[in-house]
Amino acid sequence: MSPNLAPIIVVAALAVLPLLWLMINYNRFTRINQHLLESWSDIEVEMKRRYELIPNLVETARGYAKHERQVFEQVVELRNRAMANHGTATQQAVDETALAIGVKQLFALAEAYPELQANTHFLALQHELANTEDRIAAARRFYNGNVRELNQLCEQFPTNVIAGMFDFEKEFYFELSSEAEQVVPRVG
């Protein structure tokens, strides 16, 4: 190897290493964004499942508690509002929190009707809803983990430079109020 070639190799390496670092970190941001989209899609699938279960639950309960019309209408309205929301995770969380509290009222109402609690269809729906709520919570944890990773990259130096250059932005966590998180029905 010629002595004149060594400085050229060093200069070339110094030029290539930053480009390699940039490429690796850009791809990292892209991968995390794809994980965010995938994990949000998982949440949406489970929420749609819940939206389909709630009317069946309401109809079953309505047969036993005909004079509790206001609670049933409120739960259906909250379900429709949450289902129609296609905003950010923060906006969705507001409607999901309200829906969870409405479902809590429905289960509180069901406790006043022992014959309803003994109804096998109602119990099956309640069990399905509990399983769906567990899957939503797991999907929410996965989504929030991806949000945390993206937000750390957007805030930490030197990856925040890449975030700024390529318009990668921090995302919001999908968080419910603590009251809503206590709603998960337990089938006993």
Confidence of residue 183 (pLDDT cuts 50, 70, 90): low
Lowest-confidence range among 8-22, 34-48, 168-182? Answer: 168-182
End-to-end CA distance of the chain: 79
| Tens digits of residue pLDDT in 135-148 | 999 999 999 999 99
Average pLDDT over residues 120-126: 89
Domain boundaries, the chain: 44-181
**Which pTM value belongs to this model?**
0.81
- Residue 161 or residue 11, greater confidence: 161
The full 3-state SS of the chain, as one line of letters, equals CCCCHHHHHHHHHHHHHHHHHHHHHHHHHHHHHHHHHHHHHHHHHHHHHHHHHHHHHHHHHHCCCCCCHHHHHHHHHHHHHHHHCCCCHHHHHHHHHHHHHHHHHHHHHHHCCHHHHCCHHHHHHHHHHHHHHHHHHHHHHHHHHHHHHHHHHHHCCCHHHHHHHCCCCCCCCCCCCHHHHCCCCCCC
Confidence of residue 115 (pLDDT cuts 50, 70, 90): confident
To the nearest whole number, what is the mean pLDDT of the chain? 89
**Measured distance CA(7)–CA(5) in Å, rounded:** 6
Does the pLDDT value for residue 28 go beyond 90?
A: yes
Tokens found for residue 42? 């998982």
**The predicted structure's pLDDT at residue 184:** 52
| Tens digits of residue pLDDT in 40-74 | 999 999 999 999 999 998 988 888 887 788 888 89
Lowest-confidence range among 43-52, 87-96, 131-140, 173-182? Answer: 173-182
**The predicted structure's pLDDT at residue 181:** 57
**Measured distance CA(140)–CA(79) in Å, rounded:** 19
Contact 64, 115 (CB under 8 A): yes
Confidence of residue 187 (pLDDT cuts 50, 70, 90): very low
Does the pLDDT value for residue 180 go beyond 70?
A: no
Does the pLDDT value for residue 185 go beyond 70?
A: no
Does the pLDDT value for residue 79 go beyond 90?
A: yes
Confidence of residue 188 (pLDDT cuts 50, 70, 90): very low
